[in-house]
Amino acid sequence: MHSWGRDRERVWEIVGRVRRARSLPEAFRMTVLEKAEKPALGEKAGGRWREFSFREVYRRVEDFAAGLSGLGVERGSRVALMSENRVAWTVADVAIMSLGAATVPIFPTLGPRQVAHILEDSGAGVVVVEGERQLEAVRRSGASVEHIVCMDEAGAGRGVLGFSEVERRGARSRDPGWEAKMLSLGREDVATLIYTSGTSGRQKGVVLTHGNILSNLEAIIEVVPITDDDVGLSILPLSHVLERTCSQFLNLVGGGTNYIAESVEKVQENLLEVRPTALLVVPRLFERVFAVIREQGTANPVRARIFGSAVRTARQKYRHDTGEERMSPARRALFRLYDLLVYRKVRAGLGGRVRFCVSGGARLEPWLGEFFYGAGIPVAEGYGLTETSPVISVNRFDDLRFGTVGPPLPNVEVRLSGEGEIQVRGPNVTPGYHNLPEENAAAFTGDGWFRTGDIGEFDEGGRLKITDRAKDIMVLDTGKNVAPQPVETALANTPHIAQAMLVGDGRKFVSALIVPDFDAIRRTLGENLPAERLCSDERVRELIRSEMEEAAAEFPEHERPKRFALVPREWTEEGGEITPTLKLRRSAVAARYEYLIEELYAGEGDRQMTGS
């Protein structure tokens, strides 16, 4: 169905360029010399998309670097960057690095206390913020910084410099030796200090060098069918290493064009405008797309039967292409019909010309990957960590195996400890955490392998499978282990459940906290009731109970929730229940709903599925 033949000579030319580069700005400069007038970045302003050529971006980098230099930024400095995705983010990031300084990304939604820790721990003397919200967080943090630069002009003044003003200052006082200094940087120089969001506890600053990220880019370009003709849409936060390495820098050094989504709410609109050819996403996007088409396709019993058959046929197409089973002539004819009726609409919803997607950050349900493959949108699931720059492994598009995260990258070694912990060694692995010698000692084995804290196994084809986070695994009082993520993902992919978290560590059995999909439930009931009323409605509890039992049936008995409680409010980053990368803060959720959990285990002897 898909041909992944590429101009290998062109691929190796790009890989060779990355290998020769001694820093990320130098690798970008090499692309500028070859593709000066080609669009590098695009963003929407005033209702219209504006493109910036590689030459324009490079010139802005030079100007902003000169402006930062005037503020005292030099080799070894740390500059914090707190903003949503925008062209200025990329300009600032590369400019900071070009001076031999290190970028310290801060998620734009973090509060003053977290901002204070990052600024104080990193020693950042200059902070670049997006607008008033980030400016207020920095001011209220109480951290001592020498200069604040604001991208939004409205935030400038009262001791705050405007981003464009710093660029203008730089343009008036360019350093003729800037490029020479940039080219003197080495792979061992620190490129960035990234504070991991974590699920609990104080954030740790992960040190990544230019060599760490360059080595990851080199391997990614070898195995992912990206070309310099590809168009991307930047959706995930640039504050996260996944988007920064695999979207921003992959395009800057690979020669593609990257458009920046206006916001999460505007992603669907932006997909139709930009019409990307390659997408980097988290599984939640596929879940949302599928939820929309499922709602449209199950409006009545007849359409529901057609939709169910279309899903099964798409999945069978995947199994046919992988040699697991053969499609009959009748089924192939049905596939062509569904391509006209269903799959074409799925592709159109993503812009109509997506060649492939790469998914990371969380587990992709295998059936969902199979469906999108059959619909003409192949998805390669990968795996990585901030500490590994980030990619450790990724599925190859000519050998997709859903349920795995593929083989390790060509320049990365992976082994499993006796307990099944995934351990990594390679040029992409961090030299360590900033100012945390004890953490560093614990993070590496005696023979130098990085301990990921994840549990996994290899399949017969050498593909890595992730079981769970070691620290997330629950141990029941029976001694049995429960990996919560796969079960939670299965629950959250049902029609009427939005979020789920398993509880039960040290207990006799597993239970679940459930956030219903209230909009879907209201449509099903045909009643516009408030969330609190719905959570106490027996019809809703029965609906959720039925879906939970069906979704959990594939798991071992001891992993299936025996009881559940309905929560009337979505878990959000603002509420402190999830991280900026959409991972559950388990300890925070457990603390907030401690009373519900205790109610679930009142009289632990009753093991029948019940709701409260």
Instruction: Name the stretches of the chain with pLDDT < 70.
Output: 1-6, 197-201, 469-471, 478-479, 603-612
How many CB atoms neighbour CB 34 within 10 A?
13
Look up tokens 């017969």; give the residue. Answer: 460
User: What is d(CA 536, CA 532) in angstroms, rounded to the nearest whole number?
Assistant: 7
Pair of tokens at residue 68: 């930062």
How many CB atoms neighbour CB 102 within 10 A?
28
User: Which residues have a Cβ under 8 Å from the Cβ of 231 and sit 6 or more positions away?
Assistant: 256, 257, 258, 259, 274, 275, 276, 277, 278
User: Residue ranges of the alpha helices (H) in 279-410?
Assistant: 283-297, 301-321, 329-338, 344-349, 366-374
The pLDDT score that the predictor gives to residue 584 is 86
Task: Check if the beta carbon of residue 535 is closer than 8 Å to that of residue 549.
Answer: no
Interior/surface letters 63-81, b for 16+ CB within 10 angstroms, e for the rest: bbbbbbbebebeeebbbbb
| Ramachandran region, residue 95 (left: φ > 0; alpha: ψ -120 to 50; beta: rest) | alpha
The pLDDT score that the predictor gives to residue 611 is 58
Q: What is the pLDDT of residues 414-469, one digit of tens each?
A: 999 998 999 999 999 999 999 999 999 999 999 999 999 888 999 999 999 998 76
User: Which residues have a Cβ under 8 Å from the Cβ of 129 and sit 6 or more positions away?
Assistant: 82, 83, 135, 138, 148, 149, 150, 151, 155
| Ramachandran region, residue 201 (left: φ > 0; alpha: ψ -120 to 50; beta: rest) | left
User: What is d(CA 170, CA 165) in angstroms, rounded to the nearest whole number?
Assistant: 8
The pLDDT score that the predictor gives to residue 82 is 98
Single pTM value for the model: 0.83
**Strand 205-209, strand 432-433: pairing:** antiparallel
Domains along the chain with CATH numbers: 8-185+224-281 (3.40.50.12780), 473-611 (3.30.300.30)
The pLDDT score that the predictor gives to residue 558 is 86
Angle between helices 210-223 and 24-34 (to 10 degrees): 50
Burial class (CB in 10 A: 0-12, 13-18, 19+), 605: exposed
The pLDDT score that the predictor gives to residue 114 is 87
Interior/surface letters 529-556, b for 16+ CB within 10 angstroms, e for the rest: eebeebbebeebbebbbebbeebbeebe
User: What is d(CA 381, CA 403) in angstroms, rounded to the nearest whole number?
Assistant: 8
The pLDDT score that the predictor gives to residue 508 is 87
The C-alpha torsion from 360 through 363 and 369 to 370, rounded to 10°, is 150
Task: Check if the beta carbon of residue 607 is closer than 8 Å to that of residue 561.
Answer: no
User: Which residues have a Cβ under 8 Å from the Cβ of 409 and sit 6 or more positions away?
Assistant: 216, 219, 220, 222, 223, 391, 392, 393, 394, 426, 428
**Strand 391-394, strand 379-384: pairing:** antiparallel
User: What is d(CA 11, CA 250) in angstroms, rounded to the nearest whole number?
Assistant: 13
The pLDDT score that the predictor gives to residue 1 is 44
The C-alpha torsion from 270 through 276 and 294 to 1, rounded to 10°, is 170
DSSP 157: B
The pLDDT score that the predictor gives to residue 605 is 44
Task: Check if the beta carbon of residue 414 is closer than 8 Å to that of residue 408.
Answer: yes
